[in-house]
């Protein structure tokens, strides 16, 4: 069976007026180690390009990065909001909607879970410390925190547990869950940390960064499941 092609979304930064696309190579390593072929996806500028990506790739990985534009979910801006890229937002949200409608396997990480939620009609906390409090240090990657997992969820089956320890580096998160999504993981302060699309081939979003913990089976398994789903072999 040929290795599936997994599209990995890219972030964009500007230097001297020039846009530079980049991504941490840990995402590429995760897909390759899981048995897939990484295909890097910059922001796309027309609907036809999005449709062609859907036709030619077998799965989608939505990566972390800068913040989603608060205007897209009716939110207020905040001084901590950074790196808003309208073209990236538009591209990724179109890909998410297409994936949900067509059964295209996808995994969202950090910003990725936020994009999934906004694309499907949910909202975000623009700044967690100010709007949710500081019970959990969501921007302390070294310390991390536990996540409680719905025992009936696909995620629980994948990690074979109802609680796992995760890293944490984000200042935004899901506020109102989008229609059509199911919350399946929560931080100790109640923040939604994992979502699934019920009945979907493989539609999963997590707030943490499993690509930074590939040596831990409970994190690497998420990439294995994405690749298996892209090959048509996922049965979870």
Across all residues in the chain, what is the average pLDDT? 92
Q: For 69-89, what is each residue's pLDDT tens digit?
A: 999 999 888 888 888 899 999
Alpha-carbon distance values, 70 to 94, 150, 167 (Å): 17, 29, 25
**Count, residues in the chain:** 236
Query: What interhelical angle do 86-102 and 47-56 show, nearest 10?
Result: 50
236 pLDDT above the threshold of 80: no
Q: For 140-164, what is each residue's pLDDT tens digit?
A: 666 689 999 999 999 999 999 999 9
Residue 103: half-sphere exposure toward Cβ, Cα within 13 Å = 6
Q: How far is Cα 56 from Cα 130, in angstroms, rounded to an integer? A: 42
Res. 124 pLDDT band, cuts 50 70 90: very high
Provide the 8-state DSSP code for 70.
Answer: G
Q: How far is Cα 11 from Cα 23, in angstroms, rounded to an integer? A: 6
CA-based nearest residue to 104, from 141, 180, 33, 53: 53
Q: Is the pLDDT higher at 182 or at 18?
A: 182
Q: In whole angstroms, what separates CA 119 from the centre of its chain? A: 12
CA angle 146, 7, 11 (to 5 degrees): 70
Q: For 25-75, what is each residue's pLDDT tens digit?
A: 999 999 999 999 999 999 887 888 888 888 999 999 999 999 999 999 998
**In 155-207, beta strands by DSSP E:** 163-166, 173-174, 182-186, 192-196, 203-206
Report, in this order, helix, strand and coil percent for the chain, each rounded to 5.
30, 25, 45
**In the chain, beta strands by DSSP E:** 5-9, 11-15, 18-22, 37-41, 59-62, 106-109, 124-125, 145-149, 163-166, 173-174, 182-186, 192-196, 203-206
* Beta bridge partners of residue 37, listed in sequence order: 5
Provide the 8-state DSSP code for 15.
Answer: E
How would CATH label the architecture of 5-230? 3-Layer(aba) Sandwich (3.40)
Stretch among 124-128, 159-163, 216-220 having the lowest mean pLDDT: 124-128
Q: Is the pLDDT higher at 203 or at 11?
A: 203
Res. 233 pLDDT band, cuts 50 70 90: low
Token pair listed for 154: 């696909």
Is 78 exposed, middle or buried (CB count within 10 Å of its CB: 0-12, 13-18, 19+)?
A: middle
184 pLDDT above the threshold of 90: yes
| Contact call for residues 186 and 207 (beta carbons, < 8 A) | no
Catalytic site positions:
110, 209, 211
pLDDT score for 219: 97
Whether this prediction's pTM lies above 0.75 is answered by: yes
What percentage of the chain exceeds 70 in pLDDT? 97
**In 176-228, beta strands by DSSP E:** 182-186, 192-196, 203-206
């Amino acid at each position: 069976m040929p290795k599936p092609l997994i599209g990995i979304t890219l972030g964009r930064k500007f230097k001297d007026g020039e846009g530079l696309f980049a991504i941490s190579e840990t995402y590429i390593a995760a897909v390759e180690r899981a048995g897939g072929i990484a295909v890097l996806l910059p922001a796309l500028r027309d609907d036809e390009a999005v449709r062609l990506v859907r036709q030619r790739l077998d799965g989608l990985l939505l990566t972390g990065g800068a913040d989603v534009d608060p205007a897209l979910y009716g939110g207020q801006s905040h001084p901590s909001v950074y790196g808003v890229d309208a073209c990236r937002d538009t591209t990724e949200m179109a890909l998410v909607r297409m994936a949900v409608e067509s059964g295209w396997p996808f995994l969202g990480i950090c910003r990725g879970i936020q994009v999934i939620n906004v694309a499907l009609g949910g909202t975000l906390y623009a700044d967690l410390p100010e709007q949710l409090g500081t019970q959990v240090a969501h921007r302390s990657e070294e310390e991390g925190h536990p996540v409680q997992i719905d025992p009936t969820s696909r995620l629980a089956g994948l990690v074979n547990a109802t609680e796992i320890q995760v890293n944490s580096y984000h200042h935004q998160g899901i506020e109102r869950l989008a229609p059509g999504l199911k919350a399946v993981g929560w931080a100790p302060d109640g923040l939604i940390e994992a979502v699934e699309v019920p009945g979907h081939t493989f539609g999963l979003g997590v707030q943490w960064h499993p690509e930074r913990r590939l040596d831990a089976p409970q994190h690497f398994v998420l990439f294995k499941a994405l690749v298996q789903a892209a090959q048509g072999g996922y049965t979870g």
